[in-house]
Amino acid sequence: MKTALVTGANRGIGLEIAKGLVSIGYRVFVGARDLSLGKKAANEIGAEAIELDVGDEESIKRAVAILGSVDVLVNNAGILGEGHVLDDIDEFDNSMAVMVRGPFLLMHYLLPSMIANNFGRVVNVSSGWGAFSSGLEGPGGYGVAKASLNALTFSAARDMPDNVKINAMCPGWVRTRMGGQEADRSIEEGADTGIWLATLPDDGPSGGFFRDRTPVDW
């Protein structure tokens, strides 16, 4: 049985990706800052919960010590700022901590076992707002952080063996608490590419950026 960790998975796209992986037989850990919310969500889908604040390196270390290793890592946790990118230092720092440094640390600690086992899938949930091709839109530090996550994806994938794959995805504008109810896509539509990337076959792509299972420009 393959094991997966999905961060920020007590609701929204992360929970839907976790649910999809459970449905095909994966042992899934729902990462959540609030363990009680994580347990509630995990119980609903047949997963397990683990306390994990991706903006806190000590929390990441504790979670990794409990997990030991995983076959699949989905870096889904995110925050949405407001205003201009230069307005608020704390907001910018938090965006980078949660959406860049946190994924970096989880990859740093969990990829060695994937490499040793000659199998691994990393899915970085990014956004079209983090694409230079789309103008790096989005409030606060969000677009810069997602662009940095894309760069981390591209760079890290170059050094992996063939069967350890690292990809980024854009779920589109999804009806979640972050996206709002005016969004034009369902949670199921937003999560589909993440589930696909998490379960890629041996000849699947790596180092790419995808929406609806199709490559998109960085």
Conformational region of residue 198, where left means phi above 0, alpha means psi within -120 to 50, and beta covers everything else: alpha
3-class SS letters over the chain: CCEEEECCCCCHHHHHHHHHHHHCCCEEEEEECCHHHHHHHHHHHCCEEEECCCCCHHHHHHHHHHHCCCCEEEECCCCCCCCCCCCCHHHHHHHHHHHHHHHHHHHHHHHHHHHHHCCEEEEEECCHHHCHHHCCCCCCCHHHHHHHHHHHHHHHHCCCCCCEEEEEECCCCECCCCCCCCCCECHHHHHHHHHHHHCCCCCCCCCCEEECCEECCC
Residue 142 annotated in active site: yes
Q: Choosing from 26, 92, 109, 142, which is the catalytic residue?
A: 142
Active site residues: 142
